[in-house]
Structure 1
Amino acid sequence: MSDDAQIIERIEARVYRVPVARPVATSFGVMRDRPAVFVKITAASGAFGWGEVFANWPAAGAEHRARLLMEDMGDLLPGRRVEHPARTFHELERATRIRALQCGEWGPFRQVIAGIDTALSDLFARAAGQPMRTWLDASAGASVPAYASGIAVHDAQEALATARAAGYRAFKVKVGFDAVRDLEALHALRLAPGERLFADANQAWTLPEALRFVEAGRALGLGWLEEPLPADAPPADWADLARASSIPLAGGENIAGHDAFDAAIASRSFAYLQPDLAKWGGVSGNLAVARAIGAAGLTYCPHFLGGGIGLLASAHLLAAAGGDGLLEIDANPNPLREAFPGAGILGDGRLHLSDAPGLGIDALPEEIGRYLTLELSRTRDG
């Protein structure tokens, strides 16, 4: 990694919303459009980088996150000397603690800081003339295995065929709607030899409900069951479920902070841990967590369900972290992901990464311009 300091000259936030013909349903709610918040940070040297802030929930969250960046955190960035993104990440967490406490918006502040960190990491990698993955780890590979995500279980047969034709050999379906019907739909799915199937309940169940599901689904051969319980369920509930389940458990997208991840790793309840770099940590926080996951003999699989910048950052991060984890790629149509070059897999079920500096993104794709809803910026001069 290059440690040459950079002075932040300008920050920009752009919010996009894409209407969708088919809403994306989860056990806790429905996404009726696809939002994204993209952040650009430019240094006095002319170097720049792109980041992405989590904006899927709540429905009005995207515009709120952009305003939070500019109006509640903008005083912390322009003119700031950044010696290394990881150091600035921790400094911003400390600097915004009371602000987040005052309004109780821990998640939004964490998400904005995550986007800032990813943009700074992209900036530093670009300034060093290296792809982000090799800036993070010189031995990082140039591609990562991927799986198709966001598939509704009751429409899964058609969706799996489409994803299979695109080159995927692993798939994740959403459950947690009606346990009996979900299990029937899972049993009806037919996989080809060598294919893998995962299920995501999106925090749908109580412990007794989850126990009933894992018992009834014992013969399904699922590779993992993701978030069967609420993320804040007592650790003892997760431990009880892990002991009773023949299906490995996965989770982590709703965990935030090094201490919380350390506790999740130490619990041994999760075989797969899935931090989301747009929700907490950005590149800096998630790289440290990913390495801790691997050192514990568990599997790091980055969670992501957003636009092209966050997806590419997640892919570079997975390549740098190593291990046998898979990259999550949303199988639902989303121009805010699809318009970015390199944000799709090839026929071998892998996403192949560019050798261009940073994330390889010079500018946002022109074709997404019609979806812009808000554009804000702030400079060192105000």
Structure 2
Amino acid sequence: MKNLQMPVIERIELMTSRVPLPKGPWGDQIHHVTDIEVSIVDVYGSNGLVGTGFSHTSGWCGTTISALIKEIIPDVIGQRLSPRGLWHRSYKHVHDVGGAGVTTHALSALDIAYWDLLGKTLNTPIIDILGRVRDKVPLYGSGINLHLSVEEVIEQVKEWKAKGYFAAKVKVGKPTLEEDVERLTKIQEAVPYFPLAVDANQGWNFPQALQAFKAFDHLNLLWIEEPLPSDDITGHIHLRERVNTPIALGENVYNVNQFAQYIEGNAADFIQADLGRVGGITGYLDIAAVARAHNLPMTPHFVMELSASLLTTVPNISYSEMTDGGTWSDLRIFKSAGREENGYYIPSELPGHGIILDREYLEKYKI
């Protein structure tokens, strides 16, 4: 039997869209988000197939990421399809302008497209190429709800539990810690025996974070997320040494070296890498391997439809995040993907990543 010849990359097309939030702005301690900007790439292979990838930002700098993608494209045209090989080729190419951040966002869009094209070339779902370890992934409900009343948040959490989700996450960062404690206490009283995590969105300095952890200690929270600015690795290490509640982070950490420093410093308990920010599937799998070596669970941020799909191939997981009103199907970025069922996500069985974009809607909001 002859070996299947991998296609070469003939051309790459790029589009950037600014997608509005259908239910109004999102807010937390440090953000006010009205749109999600999405950089979309279509990689055309010499076999006539097309792989699609994407990256995202919270409403700004999408065109900056797309500009870097344009710089990378000429270097990969004519290259043989090999996601890992292309990733490392491009990372070396762009590293001098930054090893993480815009560079890894740009690589994410390309890398996801490469893997999608590989799956379509082999007529196989990516998750089977990588090797499934499970058929479905548990979800937790996540709300961008700091602006909501406690009664509204309670109804949100009750709905998540009724849908079969395995835990809930809510925002903290009210003007006083007493108000945060009161809200969390009421949530736990209204929805007992349901694991509860909180997200501080990098909103505290070190003394504030230490005080908050102490104030929340009796609540036995599942985790406290992003208590400090995400690039303060030393601060997180010192904080974790002094508190009891687990720390979750990763949505604003961008490469395997940064994650390794957090993990080896015992500063993170739940690893929340974002596929659209860490260099795509290749970058994510590298981070998952480091986490697995330290017996820590992957608990990815955002883009549930792809993140949860990929978790079927990762041995060390906890849950995938279902952002209420913020899945990419809710935002109409995706036209079709896998499906939710009784608190689990079940991936698409189509070749590649199995996700179909809503091109007409995205074209409407093209930048």
Task: State the TM-score, normalizing by the size of structure 1.
Answer: 0.85
- Note the 1:60-209 alignment, pairs <5 A: 60-70=60-70, 72-82=71-81, 84-98=82-96, 100=97, 106-137=100-131, 139-153=132-146, 155=148, 156-178=153-175, 179-190=177-188, 192=191, 194-209=193-208
User: How much does 1:36 deviate?
Assistant: 2.3
1:13 to 2:6 alignment: no
Return closer, same or farther for 1:183/1:111 CA change in 2, 3 Å cut-off: same
Return closer, same or farther for 1:294/1:4 CA change in 2, 3 Å cut-off: farther
Task: State the TM-score, normalizing by the size of structure 2.
Answer: 0.89
> What is the distance in 1 between the residues matched to 2:290 and 2:119?
23
Aligned residue-pair number: 356
**Residue of structure 2 aligned with 1:342, choices 337, 341, 361:** 337
1:239 to 2:237 alignment: yes
Comparing both chains, which one has the higher relative contact order based on Cα–Cα distances under 8 Å and sequence gaps of 6 or more? 1
- The SS at the match of 2:24 is strand
User: How much does 1:143 deviate?
Assistant: 0.9
Counting aligned pairs with the same residue, the percent is 28
User: How much does 1:6 deviate?
Assistant: 2.6
RMSD: 2.4
User: 1:264, 1:270 within 8 Å by CA — same for their partners in 2?
Assistant: yes
**1:80-123 deviation line (CA, Å, top 9, x unaligned):** 223x211211110111123x25xxx9522220111111111111
> What is the distance in 2 between the residues matched to 1:39 and 1:176?
37
> What is the distance in 2 between the residues matched to 1:3 and 1:221?
54
> What is the distance in 1 between the residues matched to 2:21 and 2:251?
25
Return closer, same or farther for 1:371/1:160 CA change in 2, 3 Å cut-off: farther
1:313 to 2:306 alignment: yes
Unaligned 5+ segments in structure 2 are none
User: How much does 1:355 deviate?
Assistant: 1.8
1:251 corresponds to: 249
> What is the distance in 2 between the residues matched to 1:337 and 1:123?
22
- The SS at the match of 2:63 is helix
1:297 corresponds to: 295
User: How much does 1:144 deviate?
Assistant: 0.5
User: How much does 1:164 deviate?
Assistant: 3.5
**Residue of structure 1 aligned with 2:318, choices 309, 316, 325:** 325
Runs of 4+ in 1 over 6 A off after TM superposition: none
Matched AA of 1:92: S
1:378 corresponds to: none
**1:173-216 deviation line (CA, Å, top 9, x unaligned):** 12234333222211111354552211111111111111111111
**Residue of structure 2 aligned with 1:53, choices 49, 52, 55:** 55
> What is the distance in 2 between the residues matched to 1:270 and 1:177?
24
User: 1:169, 1:194 within 8 Å by CA — same for their partners in 2?
Assistant: no
